[in-house]
Structure 1
Amino acid sequence: MNHGKSIRMFLADGTPGGIITAEIINWTGHVISAPRSRLADVLKRPEAGRAGLYILVGDDPAESDSRVAYIGESEIVGDRLAQHNKPESAGGKDFWDRMFIFTSKDANLTKGHLRYVESKLISIASHAGRLSVANVKGKQNEYGVLPEADIADMQYLIEQLQIVLPALGLELLRAIPAQTVTQGSTEQGGNTQSPLFALTNRQGISATAQEIDGEFIVRKGSLARAQWENEKWASYKKLHQGMQDAKKLVPTDNGMLVFTEDCPFNSPSAAAAIILARNANGRTEWHIPDTGQSYADWQNTQLAEI
C-alpha cells in the first residue's frame, strides 16, 4: 500500500501561470515548470547551470488538437534549453510552449545517470500514450550501462518524477492502470478503484469502464457510434474525430467504432458522449452489470457509508 507524499510547490513570481518549483520532502530532486515566455528568467536561476533533464511540451504541428513532448538531458540544462529556443532552421524546436526541468540539489547526476533516465522516460511516455513523444526512434533504446546501485537510485528518481509531474499538470509519465474487477470502491497499490461499469443500448453499443485515481477509463474493445448525432457539443465531436485520427477508435465491420486501447476520460459523461456520439449524462448511462446500479447511485452509496 502506498503512503501519502508531501509535495512542496512554490509560485516563484506569485502567479499560477509563471515559474513553479516543486519538491518532495526528503528528496534531493528539484523540478521547475515554466512557460516558454519565461525562459530568460529560468536561465538566470542556479538550476539552469546544473546537469539535468528537461521536457518540452506544446501543440503537435502534425496533428490538430494533440500535444507533443520532447524529452532530453544535458550536463548544463540551461544551455540546451537556449539552443531549443532557436528556430527549427537553426537547430531549435518551434512547437513547445512549456518546459519542465529536473535537477538534483546534491549535484551528483552524471552523464550516465542522465542518459539512463532520459531513455527510461522516453520508453515510459511512449507506452503511456498520453502525449505524442517527439524523440527520434533511435533514442528510445534503453541505456542500461550503470552499476546496479546506481540503477536502483535512478529508478527511485523516476518514481518521484511520476508523482511530481502530474501534480504540476503534466500527465506524460502516468500509465493507464490495468483493469481490476471489484465489487465496490477499493484501494490497491494506492489507487482508488471503482467497480466495473457498462454502457449498452439497443443499437448494439457495448462498452465497459472503470474509475481509477480520478480518471474514467474506457476499456479496449468497447464499441462506440461512428456518426455524431448533431452539430451541438462541438468539443466532444472534435474529440470523437481526434480519437479516430489517432487510431484509438477504428471502424468495425458492423459500422461501429471500436476502442483499440484503454482510454482515460475526465468524467463518466465525457466517456459516454464519445461512445454515444451525442451529449450524454454519464452518471445515469453507466451501470454496474450485476446490480443495475447507476454510476450516480453507486457514488451516493459511497457517501452514505461515510
Structure 2
Amino acid sequence: MTQGRSIRLFLVDGTPHGLLTAEIMNWTGHVLTGPRGKLSELVQRPECGRTGVYFLVGPDAENSARPQVYIGESDDVGKRLKQHNRTEEQGGKDFWEKVCLITSKDQNLTKAHVKYLESLLIQQAQRVGRCTLVNGTRHDYIGLPEADQADMAFFLEQIRTVLPVLGFEFLRDASRPPSHDLKTGAAASASDVSESPRFRLSLPKHGITAFGQEAEGEFFVLEGSHARSEWGGPAHGYQRLHLQLCEEGVVADGGGDLLRFTRDYAFSSPSAAAAIVVGRAANGRTEWKHEETGQTYGEWQEQLVSEAAESRAEVL
C-alpha cells in the first residue's frame, strides 16, 4: 500500500482563487502560486526575493487538451516575474495566466541547485508530454556535486507530488504502475498489482482489440492495443486528441487501417480512452468489458461501491 502524505495548504487571502502556499511535512521546499491578476501582491511576498524555480502556465490556443508551460530559475524570482509580465514586444510573455514558484524554507537553495533543478524539470516535462513546453530545448547542467544531485532528485519528487494537488498536472508521470503483462495477462508481484483488473474493448468490424486498466485515478490504454487509423465520427473534442497522439507517436501504424499504441497512455476517463480507440465519441462505461467476468466498466465500478458500502455497514 502506498504511504500517505500530509500537505499543508494556506489560502493567503482567504479565497480559493487567490494566492496559495503549500508545504509537505519534512520537506524544506515551499510552494507559492496564484493567478497573474494577483502578481502585484505575489511579488511583495518574501519568497519572491529568494533563489528558486518557477512555472508560468497558460492555455495553448492550438491545443485545448494541454497547457503551455515555461520553466525557469532565478536567484531573485520576483525580479524575473516582473520581466515576464511585460508584453512580447518588450521581451515578456503573454500566454501565461498562472504562476507557481518553488523556493526553500531554509534558504539553502543556491544558483547551482536551481539551474540543475530547472534542467531536471524541463527533462521531466518533455518526457511526460502533458504540456506544450515554451522553453524549447533543455540545457544540461552537470556542475553539481554528486550529493547535491541526489538532494535535487529528492526535491524534484516532492515538487511532482505537490503540483497535481494545486491543479498542475504537467509533471505527473503518465506511465502505468506495473500490474499485468499485456500479452500473457500474468500478474506481477502482489505488492505491485493494481486494484483494477484489465478491461477489453473489441470492435470486430474494424479488427480492433484494445486493453485498458485503471490506475491512480486515470484510465490507461495499454501498449500494443489497436485503434482506428482515422476519426470516423462527427466532429468532437477528442478528434484533436486523436490527431495529436498520431503526431506524437503514441499511436503508430499497426497494419491495414489500424493504429497501434506504442506505449501505455493515460486518459482522463474510460470514455476518452474508448473514443480514441474506436474513432468516435463513445461511452467508456459500457464499451470497456472486464476481461474475466465480461462486466462493463460501469457494472464493475458499481459492484465495488456496493461492496464497500456493505463492508462499512457491517463495521458500524
1:199 Cα offset (Å): 0.7
Q: For residues 35-78 of structure 1, give each alpha carbon's deviation from its aligned partner in whole angstroms, at most 9, with x where no partner exists.
A: 12221111111111111110111233565654221111100011
Structure 1 vs Structure 2: percent identity of aligned residues? 47
**What are structure 1's unaligned runs of at least 5 residues?**
none
Say if 2:10 is the partner of 1:10.
yes
Q: C-alpha separation between the residues in 2 aligned to 1:133 and 1:78?
A: 21
Paired position in structure 1 for 2:314: none
Mapping for residues 270-285 of structure 1, pairs under 5 Å: 270-285=272-287
1:216 Cα offset (Å): 0.4
Contact 1:224 1:275 in 2 (8 A): yes
Paired position in structure 2 for 1:174: 172
Contact 1:60 1:67 in 2 (8 A): yes
Change (3 A) 1:72 1:193: farther
Contact 2:179 2:194 in 1 (8 A): no
1:82 Cα offset (Å): 1.0
Q: C-alpha separation between the residues in 1 aligned to 2:59 and 2:249?
A: 18
User: What is the RMSD computed on CA atoms of the aligned residues?
Assistant: 2.7
Change (3 A) 1:65 1:49: same
1:237 Cα offset (Å): 3.3
1:34 Cα offset (Å): 1.2
Paired position in structure 1 for 2:220: 217
Paired position in structure 2 for 1:157: 155
Mapping for residues 64-83 of structure 1, pairs under 5 Å: 65-83=65-83
Mapping for residues 17-32 of structure 1, pairs under 5 Å: 17-32=17-32
Say if 2:44 is the partner of 1:44.
yes
Mapping for residues 146-295 of structure 1, pairs under 5 Å: 146-178=144-176, 179-181=178-180, 188=191, 192-202=194-204, 203-231=206-234, 234-250=236-252, 252-295=254-297
Change (3 A) 1:270 1:116: same
Q: C-alpha separation between the residues in 2 aligned to 1:249 and 1:222?
A: 9
* Letter of the 1:84 counterpart: H
Q: C-alpha separation between the residues in 1 aligned to 2:281 and 2:63?
A: 25
1:33 Cα offset (Å): 1.7
Mapping for residues 57-96 of structure 1, pairs under 5 Å: 57-60=57-60, 63=63, 65-96=65-96
Provide the aligned length of Structure 1 versus Structure 2.
302
Q: C-alpha separation between the residues in 2 aligned to 1:187 and 1:69?
A: 38
1:172 Cα offset (Å): 1.6
* Letter of the 2:209 counterpart: S
Change (3 A) 1:132 1:221: farther
Change (3 A) 1:164 1:65: closer
TM-score (structure 2 length as normaliser): 0.85
Q: Which moved more, 1:97-106 or 1:285-294?
A: 285-294
Paired position in structure 1 for 2:131: 131
**What are structure 2's unaligned runs of at least 5 residues?**
312-316
Contact 2:50 2:77 in 1 (8 A): yes
Change (3 A) 1:151 1:245: closer
* Letter of the 1:264 counterpart: A
